[in-house]
Structure 1
Amino acid sequence: MSQSATPANDASTVHGDLPPGYRARRGQNWILLGLTYASYYLCRYNLSPIAPELMRDLNLDKSQYGKINSGRDGAYAVGQMVNGLFTDRLGGKRALLIGALGTVALNFVFGLVAWSSLPGMLTLLVLIRSADGYIQAFGAPGFIKINTAWFRRRERGALAGIFGAMINLGAIGAGQLARLLASGFAVPLLVVTLTVPKMDWRYLFIIPPIAVLFIVILMYLGVKNTPEEAGYEIQHDDEPPDDSTERVRLRDVFRKIASNPTVWIVAGAYFCTGFVRRAIESWWAIYLDEIWHVGKDSSLFAAFAWGLPITATVGSMASGYISDLLFAGRRAPVAAVLYLLQVVMTALVLMVPHGGTASAALAVTLIIGVSMMCNSTHSILGTAAAMDLGGRKMAGCSAGIIDSFQYYGALLSGWGLGELFIYVARDSGVDGGPISPTIWIGSMLPFGLIGAGLMTYLWLKNRGKRVAGA
């Protein structure tokens, strides 16, 4: 028999209107889901930290490296649209399992192909990474689908922040593993010290999938799709009571979500977030290598490898709590401020002269600040707003549409920026020269301004109203 969360003043309930044991069971769900999605990022963020080595060993230019990134981002965008709909029928847990097993297999294949001397190497790597992007697109809709059922609107901003924190665990893992593999490391045990020698960069596509496989097995055994599956029942304050087991047609789901103008405004802003977020993620290691001539043993590399995910975590959690506590679950006001701060920091980076140690530290600090603002909007728009807009029945589709636009923006930051770097270097008479910091950072400025404009419009348009996702 399920345990109802209503009425709120029932003596049998604890923590307000949640039934006894609900929070603990939800916590178990959340931990396993968070670890699973964090493990996805071990297999997603494992390319950019070793980009300089990959380009040198495989003789790739910036445009070719950008094609590998854009192939993944483009396929991920398509996958979000398609797989978001499928997730609303498959269920979140099954979607997460499909994505995890797929990325395990495709990362292994990417690493093995990069070790080979097969003809058409670039084409193969683009195709493999693209397939990996598509299959990983089962992850976010699955995660959001499950958590929408377990968390109500007034709790989702905080959840989105924690979701961002879990993502960044994967980012930290990928960056630190790349550094350790490049230099070797020692593990002190009880009686001996295990010494791991320097390893080839290709192992970054062999080791992370093993961790993903272990974690996804735990997830599949311990996660429930809905509170009802675990014997609980809660009333969502943003949805009427209904049969949570009822199945809806994919066509009806898509029509309802796609007809909501707020979805497209949020998606447009998320497009801007996607460009900036992926522009930083894809090119920071190359920026350090070509502009500041430092490697993985430098303090600047460590600053990026640790600073990007840690500040993203802080920003995601803070923005989520602020939108929940100070704005009653409204996302647009917080997002508008974040975009404006991103614009200010981007402009400041452009003023920093690229020469001298002090300038390097200042430039890196400001770029990390831009990333922090960008990842904060990523959290509250791509997770919290998507959950609000879709509700428990259509969260997969809502998340898929919105998140796909992030990766349409990301498409431009891979191949597009790569081609632009080559063009600018050739135009200045230095064919194959270093990336231009002015082009790299300057390209982010208009996207921050557009994002700020869209979120300010949504904020003012719905001021004083209770509108899902706004």
Structure 2
Amino acid sequence: MCRYNFRFATPGMVEEFGFSTFQITGMLSAWSIAYGTGQLVNGLLTDRIGGKIAMLIGATGTIAINLIFGFASFAGTFTTFAVIWLMNGYLQSFGAPGMIKMNAAWFRRTERGTFAGIFGFMIQMGQFAINNLAPVILAGFTVGVWVVAKGDWHYLFRIPPLIVAAAAVLLAIFVKNTPEEAGYQGLIEPGNGTADTSSRASIRESFITIFTHPLIWFYAVAYACTGAVRNSSDQLMILYFHDQLKLNMADKPAAVLWTVNLMPLVAVLGSFGAGIVSDKFFNGHRSPVAMTLYFVECAVILTAAVVISTGVVGPTPIGIFIGCLFLVLVALTANSTHAIVGAAAPMDIGGRKMAGFAAGVIDSFQYYGTALALPFTGWMIDRHGWGVWYPIMASFGAIGGVSMLLVMRKQRRLQMAGDVRAVAR
């Protein structure tokens, strides 16, 4: 909620401060660089301090930063907003490694693909919540003497942090890092051929194991492509609705509400589906499912690009329907790869000891990919219009598919050589 609120604020920020699409994507790029780097640093830190503490640090930090962003209009410069959002990126980067670290201890390897679906569901629940809350905030409301004016985007950063605060309290009270902490001794085998149920590794062991793993860099490149597509479609769609389809968020248009709620719904279905298929039909192999999804994603986006090039997508009923439909299909494919590549694969590679760092390494590339792709996309849109958006995303889908094909080939060679690291697949 305290990440995807930004996209609903972009039309208001453009109107109030005159920011270009390139500047908006520049702020998102700053967030992505900080988030990606934070994944590396905080993934390693999470393996030392535990997932629960990491998540509490992230929750507390993003609450504070969102409130600052909501009251930062007195400055009103690109640099001010970019720096604040950069700080939010770093603090939010405690979340994913913390979640993955804890669940590597709670789930067996053949269950982790399904957990990846739960992980994707968690993210999409935040999207669903802000997708429905943001239009209400932008439409304006009155509660007693408290009046929120129509179109006041600042409250998008003032109200959601209150909900995050409530979730953080529940996390602090109820969540346990491992089954052992909850009183369930020996519930989950470590999965590394030993009886060691500890959840910590030395820094040296983490670096050597993760950075020298023969599969991790292929996953990292693929995940960079996931980030380039997923975050581009997620973060720019409100500007797309406003600029291309001429829809005003403050009017709560039905097409937008349906689309922004269908996108997380199909994302959840895709995440669960991809995870279950990789667990049940491919015996925990992630790469065949991910490769298929990347190439399907590329085909869907290329089809969308061809249709959009005909001029049919625009501020007409059929044009709005088609434009929204393609965004839903992109969400389905992009979030399916997001779950199994970003959540299941790191747990397979790092195990319960190093899942946080493995997740940090792989997930960081999702946001480095975003940081490179978004400013370029914004720059191209400013100069050539929204027609270039889909072809740019399609190129990343193709690269992701090739990366997963290389993972499959590398994994087969490892199996033939008897390398135990082939278990992470």
The equivalent residue for 2:368 is: 408
Q: Structure 1-normalised TM-score?
A: 0.83
SS at 2:129 equivalent: helix
The equivalent residue for 1:68 is: 27
The equivalent residue for 1:38 is: none
Conserved in 2, the CA contact under 8 Å of 1:335 and 1:380? yes
Candidates 345, 355, 362, aligned match of 1:395: 355
Partners of 1:112 and 1:165 lie apart in 2 by 31
The 3 A distance-change label for structure 1 pair 247 and 147 is: closer
Q: In the alignment, is residue 346 of structure 1 matched against residue 295 of structure 2? A: no
SS at 2:244 equivalent: helix
The equivalent residue for 2:6 is: 47
The equivalent residue for 1:428 is: none
Q: In the alignment, is residue 201 of structure 1 matched against residue 170 of structure 2? A: no
Conserved in 2, the CA contact under 8 Å of 1:346 and 1:367? no
Conserved in 1, the CA contact under 8 Å of 2:51 and 2:99? yes
Conserved in 2, the CA contact under 8 Å of 1:113 and 1:121? no
Partners of 1:311 and 1:457 lie apart in 2 by 28
Q: Shift of the alpha carbon at 1:378? A: 0.3
Conserved in 2, the CA contact under 8 Å of 1:62 and 1:421? yes
Conserved in 2, the CA contact under 8 Å of 1:97 and 1:220? yes
Partners of 1:183 and 1:423 lie apart in 2 by 32
| Larger deviation, residues 153-162 vs 57-66 | 57-66
Conserved in 1, the CA contact under 8 Å of 2:4 and 2:130? yes
1:363-390 deviation line (CA, Å, top 9, x unaligned)? 3212220121010000001000111111
The equivalent residue for 1:125 is: 81
> Following superposition of structure 1 onto structure 2, how do residues 214-253 of structure 1 map, counting pairs within 5 Å?
214-232=166-184, 233-236=186-189, 238-245=191-198, 247-253=200-206
> Following superposition of structure 1 onto structure 2, how do residues 78-157 of structure 1 map, counting pairs within 5 Å?
78-114=37-73, 116=74, 118=75, 121-157=77-113
The 3 A distance-change label for structure 1 pair 60 and 166 is: same
Partners of 2:409 and 2:214 lie apart in 1 by 15
> Following superposition of structure 1 onto structure 2, how do residues 175-194 of structure 1 map, counting pairs within 5 Å?
175-184=131-140
Residue ranges of structure 2 left out of the alignment (5+ in a row):
none
| Count of aligned pairs | 410
Partners of 1:420 and 1:73 lie apart in 2 by 19
The equivalent residue for 1:313 is: 268
The equivalent residue for 1:255 is: 208
The equivalent residue for 2:220 is: 267
Q: CA RMSD in A?
A: 2.1
Conserved in 1, the CA contact under 8 Å of 2:111 and 2:279? yes
Q: Shift of the alpha carbon at 1:412? A: 2.3
Conserved in 1, the CA contact under 8 Å of 2:190 and 2:197? no
Q: Shift of the alpha carbon at 1:237? A: 6.3
The equivalent residue for 1:290 is: 243
Partners of 1:57 and 1:326 lie apart in 2 by 52
Partners of 1:227 and 1:262 lie apart in 2 by 29
Q: In the alignment, is residue 276 of structure 1 matched against residue 229 of structure 2? A: yes
Q: Shift of the alpha carbon at 1:218? A: 1.1
The 3 A distance-change label for structure 1 pair 393 and 293 is: same
Partners of 2:2 and 2:364 lie apart in 1 by 19
Partners of 1:300 and 1:51 lie apart in 2 by 18
The 3 A distance-change label for structure 1 pair 197 and 67 is: closer
Conserved in 1, the CA contact under 8 Å of 2:2 and 2:157? yes
Partners of 1:333 and 1:237 lie apart in 2 by 25
Q: Shift of the alpha carbon at 1:272? A: 0.5
1:275-330 deviation line (CA, Å, top 9, x unaligned)? 00111012111111111111222233113311211111110011111111111111
1:322-356 deviation line (CA, Å, top 9, x unaligned)? 11111111100110111111011111101213334
Q: In the alignment, is residue 370 of structure 1 matched against residue 326 of structure 2? A: no
Aligned partner of 1:205: which letter? F
Q: Shift of the alpha carbon at 1:235? A: 4.0
Partners of 2:19 and 2:151 lie apart in 1 by 21
Conserved in 2, the CA contact under 8 Å of 1:95 and 1:142? yes
Partners of 2:218 and 2:409 lie apart in 1 by 13
> Following superposition of structure 1 onto structure 2, how do residues 156-167 of structure 1 map, counting pairs within 5 Å?
156-167=112-123
Partners of 1:58 and 1:311 lie apart in 2 by 35
1:146-168 deviation line (CA, Å, top 9, x unaligned)? 00001010111111001101110
Partners of 2:140 and 2:12 lie apart in 1 by 16
Partners of 2:236 and 2:49 lie apart in 1 by 36
The 3 A distance-change label for structure 1 pair 197 and 131 is: closer
The equivalent residue for 1:24 is: none
Conserved in 2, the CA contact under 8 Å of 1:417 and 1:440? yes
Aligned partner of 1:220: which letter? A
SS at 2:201 equivalent: coil
Partners of 2:412 and 2:204 lie apart in 1 by 32
SS at 1:462 equivalent: helix
Structure with more helix by fraction:
2
SS at 1:301 equivalent: helix
Q: Structure 2-normalised TM-score?
A: 0.92
Conserved in 1, the CA contact under 8 Å of 2:190 and 2:196? no
Q: Shift of the alpha carbon at 1:457? A: 2.4
The 3 A distance-change label for structure 1 pair 78 and 332 is: same
Which has the larger Rg? 1
Partners of 1:309 and 1:195 lie apart in 2 by 30
Conserved in 2, the CA contact under 8 Å of 1:235 and 1:241? no
The 3 A distance-change label for structure 1 pair 339 and 254 is: same
Conserved in 1, the CA contact under 8 Å of 2:263 and 2:328? yes
Conserved in 2, the CA contact under 8 Å of 1:348 and 1:366? no
The equivalent residue for 1:361 is: 321
Candidates 117, 120, 125, aligned match of 1:169: 125
Candidates 281, 284, 289, aligned match of 1:326: 281
The equivalent residue for 2:402 is: 453
The equivalent residue for 1:11 is: none
Q: Shift of the alpha carbon at 1:105? A: 0.4
